[in-house]
Amino acid sequence: MSDARPAFRRVPADMFAFTTTERADLHTAVMQVFGEAAERLRAALTFDEVLAGLPETGWYEPVSDESLEYTLGALHKHGLVDRAQNHAAHYASAAEYERRNLHYSLSRKGEAAYQGLLLALDLLDGSGALQTSVLDAIAARLGELDALLGDEGADDRRIHTALTELEGHLTALRSGVVRFNGRLQRLLRDEGADPAVFQELKQATIAYLTDFVTDLDTRRLTVADAVARIEERGVEVLHVRALRGADLPVLPGRPDPAPHFLERRAARWAALREWFRPAGGGRARVEELADTARAAIVALMRALERFSDSRRRGSSTAADFRTLARWFSAAETDEAAHELWAAATGLWSARHTHLAPDDPTAVGPGTSWFRAPGVHVSPLLRTHGQSDRVSRTARVRDTTEIREQRRQRALRERLELEEAWSRLATPGPVRLSAFARLDQGSFSRLLELLARALTVPARDGERRASTADGRLVVVLLPPPDHHLAYLRTARGVLVAPDFIVSISESRPGQAAPVPLRTDFRREATA
């Protein structure tokens, strides 16, 4: 790898262009003719030989000379086919000579393109595999190399073949993993039409993966150990001896192949390390592979579980939902599906009208709707589609607000009441003058209480009355002296005899008086 540019920059732009044009079929067929000829060590073909070779590749349609001419020209233009003058042939005419005096053969780029094509087809067809035997073979070759390196007298050629085999196994492992992983991911998100086949495939894959994962750790360690042993002996030594064993031809005009050879070996060795014994103690790729395999086993088992689950008529909620899903899918109309939804979930809303007749009791329950008074429908609803704001339909629109107001009012009234009572309740008998200052609300309540007490006849000089709801009891005693009480309010001053007043809660079981405001307590005892 003398060229340090990354792979994607090194692919010649038009290398596979022949597979993508309109005439890709014929182009590819011709490439195949060349490829197969090369396998038979026939380096160059004439126009007629190319034409004759086509049927062997499975091309049976007639090909006009022009068409083949064009194809060969195109391949030549892409740099895939070399052209040379053919001086050995016999020509009947000058025209024939003009057209057919050429020899065609694959260029280097053409060979690469053809091999690439074969590999691509192979990958498309093949399924890929994870093989423990590959791992064993790698371990075995490493062991062999270790032994050969230990033996000074060993043949370098054997080292070369063993290294080549090792690299071959590593390549097999890598491409196998790539392909298998692709197949596995497809299986995991499979759109298997036939559930039975689908299930079988998954089960087989699980068994296969389980086999692979078992003892993977031991194999990994064996390989890693062997790598370590060779590194102790020196990888460079190994590569140099392999280079000697390779016996590479040195051709005039071509660069020395040795540096390139050593670079490639070093790169392969680095790849090997990355798989089994990464530098810096990172995660070995083979471990990642094991993780992926384990995760795939779990995912596949789950899928199978779900499959058997869906077969079993369970009574669990999940089974209920799955059953419903099937029923929904089988429903004949959307309306039938709506009914099923309602039946299964009960998640429907009630439906009512909001308009009531003015006087619901105007007619008896035996009256027909046709004879009973109707509801008031705003005439604007008919004419404009909207009701006027003062009509009753408009009121309905604001119900939440009204309800809220009503609630607030009730709450406010209750609070006022509590507040007033807490102001009025006394810790015991006090003078009326103790209610020195009162707000208007409390004052009017106090007046009401006094009025109630004063209207009942006195018993032993004591007047006793209670509020309408019976909650508060007021007891009034005439003043022992002739003092007057002056109660000041915002609206004026009440002047009255200074009665002795006792206001308390009368609820049975409630001994504690209404809590007093502290300032009032102070005033009352002052």
Between the CA atoms of 182, 187, 193 and 194, what dihedral angle is there, to the nearest 10 degrees?
130
Rounded Cα distance between 63 and 44, Å, is 20
Rounded Cα distance between 33 and 353, Å, is 85
Nearest residue (CB) to another protein, 1 versus 298: 298
Check residue 350 for interaction with another protein (CB under 8 A): yes
Near another protein by CB under 8 A, which window of 179-187, 286-294, 342-350, 423-431? 342-350
Beta bridge partners of 476: 463, 501
Site for another protein in 293-312 (CB under 8 A): 303, 306-307, 310
Check residue 359 for interaction with another protein (CB under 8 A): no
Nearest residue (CB) to another protein, 98 versus 305: 305
Nearest residue (CB) to another protein, 66 versus 401: 401
**φ, ψ of residue 42 in degrees (nearest 5):** -100, 105
Nearest residue (CB) to another protein, 377 versus 484: 377
Check residue 360 for interaction with another protein (CB under 8 A): yes
Rounded Cα distance between 186 and 313, Å, is 29
Check residue 405 for interaction with another protein (CB under 8 A): no
Applying CB under 8 A, among 210, 399, 405, 525 the residue interacting with another protein is: 399
DSSP 8-state class, residue 462: B
Rounded Cα distance between 38 and 9, Å, is 28
Q: Which helix (H) or strand (E) holds 503?
A: strand 500-505
Q: Looking only at Cα atoms, what is the longest distance across the chain?
A: 162
Rounded Cα distance between 496 and 487, Å, is 8
Check residue 482 for interaction with another protein (CB under 8 A): no
Q: Which two tokens mark 456?
A: 């009942």
Nearest residue (CB) to another protein, 67 versus 399: 399
Site for another protein in 258-277 (CB under 8 A): none
Near another protein by CB under 8 A, which window of 41-49, 66-74, 82-90, 397-405? 397-405
Nearest residue (CB) to another protein, 354 versus 517: 354
Check residue 368 for interaction with another protein (CB under 8 A): yes
Applying CB under 8 A, among 348, 486, 510, 515 the residue interacting with another protein is: 348
Q: Which helix (H) or strand (E) holds 31?
A: helix 24-39
Least distance to another protein, CB of residue 406, Å: 8
Rounded Cα distance between 177 and 84, Å, is 43
Applying CB under 8 A, among 198, 240, 274, 290 the residue interacting with another protein is: 198
Least distance to another protein, CB of residue 344, Å: 5
Residue 86, helix vs strand vs coil: coil
Applying CB under 8 A, among 115, 367, 405, 525 the residue interacting with another protein is: 367
Near another protein by CB under 8 A, which window of 51-59, 183-191, 247-255, 274-282? 183-191
Contact 113, 15 (CB under 8 A): yes
Judged by phi (left if over 0) then psi (alpha if -120 to 50, else beta), residue 261 lies in alpha
Near another protein by CB under 8 A, which window of 84-92, 389-397, 435-443, 482-490? 389-397
Applying CB under 8 A, among 9, 189, 482, 491 the residue interacting with another protein is: 189
Check residue 377 for interaction with another protein (CB under 8 A): yes
Near another protein by CB under 8 A, which window of 27-35, 62-70, 256-264, 369-377? 369-377
Check residue 352 for interaction with another protein (CB under 8 A): yes
Q: How many residues does the chain have?
A: 526
Contact 75, 15 (CB under 8 A): no
Applying CB under 8 A, among 108, 321, 486, 497 the residue interacting with another protein is: 321
Nearest residue (CB) to another protein, 365 versus 461: 365
Residue 106, helix vs strand vs coil: strand
Among 447, 437, 440, smallest CA distance to 503 is for 447
Contact 340, 331 (CB under 8 A): yes
Applying CB under 8 A, among 85, 345, 455, 518 the residue interacting with another protein is: 345
Check residue 522 for interaction with another protein (CB under 8 A): no
Contact 430, 499 (CB under 8 A): no
Least distance to another protein, CB of residue 387, Å: 6
Check residue 471 for interaction with another protein (CB under 8 A): yes
